[in-house]
Amino acid sequence: QVQLVESGGGSVQAGGSLRLSCAAAGYDYNRWYMGWFRQAPGQEREGVAFINSIGSISYADSVKGRFTISQDNAKNTLNLQMNSLKPEDTALYYCAATAGIPLSVWVRLFRKPPARGDFDYWGQGTQVTVSS
C-alpha cells in the first residue's frame, strides 16, 4: 500500500523559506511522476512542481526561480524547497505520485505537464501560510 505523508509546512513572513517533505512508503515503480499541488481557499487545486523517474523537472510559472523540487531515491522522499515566499503562496500543499506509467502515457506527459487526474496517490496536505 502506497502512503504519502507531507511535513514541513508552517507560517513564515514574506521573503522567508520553507522546506516541505513527502515520505512515500511502499512506493516502487519504474516510470513515475511525483509532484506538489496546492490549493488556496476558494481556488482550484493547481500544480506547483513535478519530477519524474528520469529526473525531468517542471514548475508552474508562478514559482519558477523560487521553488526547487527534488527526490531522494534512497529514502523515497520528495522535497520542495520554497524560497522568497510570497503571500500568494499561501495554500494547502499536497504531495502526489503516479503509479507505474505505461510508455504511451509517458510519451504524452512529455508533451503536456501532468494534471491532477494523472496522479494516483495523494497526501493529506500541509499548510503553508505566508504573511506580508
Q: What does residue 126 show for φ and ψ, rounded to 5 degrees? A: -135, 135
- Rounded Cα distance between 49 and 7, Å, is 16
Amino acid 74: pLDDT = 73
CA 29 from centroid of its chain's CA atoms: 18
Look up cell 490549493; give the residue. Answer: 39
Provide the grid cell at 48.
506547483
pLDDT by residue for the chain (132 residues), tens only, comes to 899 999 999 999 999 999 999 999 999 898 999 999 999 999 999 999 999 999 999 999 999 999 999 998 777 899 999 999 999 999 999 999 999 999 999 999 988 889 999 999 999 999 999 999
